[in-house]
Amino acid sequence: MANNIVSFDDEKLILVDDNDNEIGYETKDACHNGQGILHRAFSIFIFNNNNELLIQQRHNSKRLWGSFWSNSCCSHPRKGESYPVATKRRLKEELGLDVNLLYLFRFQYQASFEDKGSENELCSVYVGKSNNLPEINETEIENWKYITVANLNRELLTNPAGFTPWFKMEWERITREYMGEIYAL
């Protein structure tokens, strides 16, 4: 997929209240300034038939958590986009994949990164299965790998600081509540 730029500081994100009701729109840049403004986001976890998870190392040019390891794909619905449209778009843009997704849960979190800004998101979490190798967008992703659940849990114990905060929160809940559904995909 090479070097297609797919993220823009001026793209309009969807501002929401605690119940995911739309209350306005703001640029991605403004949504991540200071403590952040609550906005919609999503995280996607792609497993293969060996139940290995595709994880990515975010590109080092990312404003927040560049070079950190994270879930397969994460982003934001843009103004006028539904979750299904946004997740399909972003999977294609970042990984070159077209995967049927299963919604798991939604949660709210806020996390600050150094003095560069914050995430303040109401994040919907999805899971899917694919054996297709990703076609990585090198402007978004520095590195990637498939990893077993056991090896990922080991890495999270030995190097938790190398992973994004949302990924750690999501993975804890996924492994506690949803692995049966994932294995059944």
Q: Which residues are catalytic?
A: 74, 121
CA distances to 22, 32, 130, 146, 173 from 77, in Å: 12, 15, 22, 26, 23
Q: Which residue pairs, CB below 8 angstroms and at least 24 apart, start in 174-183?
A: 174/45, 174/104, 174/125, 174/127, 175/149, 177/105, 178/104, 178/105, 178/127, 179/149, 181/102, 181/104, 181/127, 182/45, 182/47, 182/51, 182/127, 183/51
d(CA 91, CA 73): 7
